[in-house]
Amino acid sequence: MLAAHGPQHWWPGRTRFEIIVGAILTQNTSWANVERAIRNLRAARLLAP
């Protein structure tokens, strides 16, 4: 699918680490809360492995 359609950029993570964190957070809360949490983590500069 990736070869046929290329990257879709539907997941709003800026880095692979942000995508991983978002995927984990999504399992336990609504997407709105995940977006807010990621914004807060970004602002605090805590989204680096």
Q: What is the pLDDT of residue 12?
A: 76
Per-residue pLDDT, 9: 78
| Sequence spans of domains, the chain | 12-49
**For residue 41, what pLDDT is reported?**
94
Reported confidence tier of residue 4, pLDDT bands at 50, 70, 90: very high
Q: For residue range 8-46, list pLDDT tens digits in order.
A: 877 778 888 998 999 999 998 898 999 999 999 999 999
Where do runs of H (alpha helix) occur along 1-49? Answer: 2-5, 16-26, 31-43
CA nearest neighbour of 21 among 4, 29, 3, 1: 29
DSSP state at residue 15: S
